[in-house]
Each structure stands twice: as structure tokens, then as C-alpha cells.
Structure 1
Amino acid sequence: MTGRLANHTVLIVGGTHRLGAAIAAAASAEDAHVTVSTHAPHDEDTLRIDLRDEASVAAAARHIGPIDHLVSTAGRSYSAPIREMELSRVQEAIAAKITGPLLLAKHFQIRKSLTLFSGQVAWRPGNGSYATGVTNGAIAFAAQHLAAELAPVRVNAISPGIVDSGLWDARGALKAAFLTGAASRTLLGTTGTVHDIVDAVLWIMSAPFFTGETLRVDGGRR
């Protein structure tokens, strides 16, 4: 399908990096009018939205006006044992995944859909997973509650599995073994690609009877 978002206005929060940039490019290919944002833009074509700062969210909403779709890829992963946690880093995770979506819903005039990002760690608790797990889990509840309050605007979340998006490049020589191990724990024997997630986002934006849900794109891993 092409052109399913023709003349729709789309804002990608976190749209300058990795997955966000891929979603922005794909939406543009579907003939949407796309705006991207980051918390510290480097050019005049990028909108500034810092989810830790309500004033920046409100200013961006006034600047851009009504939009059809908003996708937030914002996230701040933080893993540490409870007794070693730094409160400031936990608060950054909360701003990205809990208060951030609240501010976006509060200030932006969204006509069709709001799509948020969760993650599989929400359903796989373990040592050091508190901040990332709880904030990603909160996204699933946020989608349900915002869908009820913002209706008929559709609100959904996507929970990706392990995807080779560049996030794991920091593992260096250990990356390949990590991805192989992750693939072995899925039903399909593989890890995901950026295209898998992008396709899911485009489907959600164009699916008129789908709301209040969290779509798991994880190869069947639970």
C-alpha cells in the first residue's frame, strides 16, 4: 500500500534518530506531511520538544497546530539494582514514558491517532529492570486510559522485541552473540528489523477500528 497517509500531518517525537527517523521516512513515503522533533534540535527544520519541560511541549503544540497523527518513540532505558539506583535517572525514564505522553495528549490537538512505545522488559521482570520495566509497563495502561479519554482519537502502543536498530551496537564484538541468543528465544528463531516495527506503526496509524491496545511485535516471545 502506498499513499494511505496522503495529506495527513504526522509528528514524530524523537524522529531524528534510529527508529524515529525510519518511521519519519516511511510516513513521508506514504505521502504524509511529516514533522520531527528532538529535545535539542540542530537545525531549523526540527521542532524542539523536551518531555521534561511542559513549556516546550506547549510551545511546540502552538507552533505546529492541529495534526492527524503523533508518534512518540521517546524513551530512557535505565537498568540498575534497586540499592544502586540514581533518582535523577529514574525521573528521566518517568518523563519519557509516563508524564511525557500525558503532556503530549494535554497540549497537542490530535485528530486521528496517538502511538506510544512500550517494550518487552515490561513483562519480563528481573534484576535491575525496575525503572525500564515499570515505565514501559505504564505505557500499556496509558494507551487504554488515553484511548477512553481522547476518543474518537485512537491511542495505541507498540511493544517491540529485540530489534537490530543500532541500539545494540555499543556491545561491539558481543553484539552478534547477543542477537543470536535473543533470536533463539523467539518462536520464529530470529530477531526483528526496523522495518518490522515501522510497518506496525504505519498499520496502526491507518487502522480505523483499533484503539486502546498494545501491539507486541516480538516474534512471539513473551
Structure 2
Amino acid sequence: MNVLVIGRNSGIAQAVVKKVEEAGGTAVVAGRDEVDLTDEASIAKLAEKVGAIDHVVSTGSARARGTAKELTPEAVQASLNVKVVGAILLAKHFASRMPENGSFVFLSGASARKVMPGMLAVGATNAAVDAVVRGLAVELAPIRVNAISPGTIDTGAYDALGEEKKAALFAHKQATSPVRRIGQAEDIADAVLFALTNTFMTGVSLAVDGGEVLV
């Protein structure tokens, strides 16, 4: 199992690499220095460099947090370009290099299913990822296409809030989540590995959110 993992060399991407290698697979990592998900030429260049590959996992994102009054068109477009247009371009340039039992795994998010103030653009982006996954699953068949939809995960993604606000958010999520804890990168990596290896699952956005959307 040869897997291309796109994303930062930390957090979820790093955890995915570890899980793939523990399962006996080989992971090829492409960070921001290797590929720009908003640039088709960059993706095409990466595809030429990587060559034949069994699976592609993309954890890339450009989150656009804020209310409608706070968001800029540029921030919203960047979010959509990285996670939605990027997913389509990865499929365009890598599907022909995959075997029939290959697959793509993208990251969606709980905000696609649960409305939260300040997550308008993030939610719209994740909902679009879910739609793209279903469409690609049909277009690329028998290659499989799935998404993992995380809830609140303890990665560097929340550091921008500042220590105090991050701690308050995590305390609230932990108290209200049905599983009574914050998710870890390994939780998502386990789900990614499941999506890579379950050959009877496609077109699915798999919620790994501790039941966050239920409350």
C-alpha cells in the first residue's frame, strides 16, 4: 500500500503517516513546499514526480473562520480552493495513476452538519467536500472516494484563538460532547486507515466527531 499524504508534517497528516507505516504501507508526504492545492500546475507536477500510487489522502485546508460580517471574499475563496477545487484537481491528475482498488480520502468536518456561529465559510466548504466526494465516487469508479468528517480535534488548528480562548472552547466541547473528551489526531488517522483499507466503502463522509453534532 503506497499512500500519498498531503498536508503539514504535523497533526493529522503526521498521524496518518504513522498509521500507514504501522500497517505495513509506505507513505509519501507532500507539504506546502511540495504542492499548492490551489494551483493546478503544482498538482500536475507532483503527480509526475510521484508516479504510480495506490491512495491519496489530503488533509490540506485554509480555514476561513468568522461571521458573514467578518469574512472577506478572499478568505472564503481560499477555503474553497484548497479543500474543494483542490480535491477535484487531485482526482483529475492522480486517478489515472491508480489501480482499480485505489482510493482518495479527503477531510470534511462536523461544521458541514452542525451550524455554529463563526463557522459559516468552513461549514459551506466542508459541505461542498461531501458533495464532491459523492460525485467523484461515481465518476472514478471503481476507484473509491471517501471523506473523514472530524469534530473538534486537538491540533495546532486552534492555536490562533489564543491560549485562553482555546482552553475555554475545549473545556466546553469536552463537557458537552457525548464522549466527554476532545478528539486527537490519532482518532482521525484510525478512520483514514479504515477508509483506505475497506474496499466496500465509497462516496461516504464518515463522521468521527465524538457525537458533537448531536448536542
| Aligned counterpart in structure 2 of residue 106 of structure 1, from 92, 110, 120 | 92
Residue aligning to 1:43 = none
Cα deviation digits, residues 61-82 of structure 1 (max 9, x gap)? 1111121010000111112232
Cα deviation digits, residues 14-60 of structure 1 (max 9, x gap)? 152321111112212222121111222xxxxxxx1101110010111
Q: Is the 1:15–1:24 Cα contact (8 Å) retained in structure 2?
A: no
Q: Is the 1:117–1:157 Cα contact (8 Å) retained in structure 2?
A: yes
**What value does the CA root-mean-square deviation take over the aligned residues?**
1.5
**Equivalenced residues, count:** 208
d(CA) in 2 for partners of 1:82, 1:176: 25
Residue aligning to 2:114 = 124
Instruction: Return the letter of the residue paired with 1:18.
Output: G
Cα deviation digits, residues 79-109 of structure 1 (max 9, x gap)? 2232332222111101111100000000012
User: 4+ runs of 1 displaced by more than 4 Å?
Assistant: none
Q: What does 1:122-201 correspond to in 2, within 5 Å?
A: 122-170=112-160, 171-201=162-192
Residue aligning to 1:17 = 10
d(CA) in 2 for partners of 1:197, 1:151: 25
**2:212 aligned counterpart, secondary structure:** coil
Moved more, 133-142 or 187-196: 187-196
When normalised by structure 2's length, the TM-score is: 0.91
Q: Unpaired runs of 5+ in structure 2?
A: none
d(CA) in 2 for partners of 1:176, 1:15: 23
**2:16 aligned counterpart, secondary structure:** helix
Q: Is the 1:15–1:23 Cα contact (8 Å) retained in structure 2?
A: no
**1:156 aligned counterpart, secondary structure:** strand
Query: Aligned pair in 2 of structure 1 residues 205, 218: CA closer, same or farther (>3 Å)?
Result: same
Q: Quote the sequence identity (%).
A: 37
Residue aligning to 2:60 = 74
Q: Unpaired runs of 5+ in structure 1?
A: 1-7, 41-47
Instruction: Return the letter of the residue paired with 1:12.
Output: V
**1:181 aligned counterpart, secondary structure:** helix
d(CA) in 2 for partners of 1:50, 1:90: 17
Q: Is the 1:192–1:219 Cα contact (8 Å) retained in structure 2?
A: yes
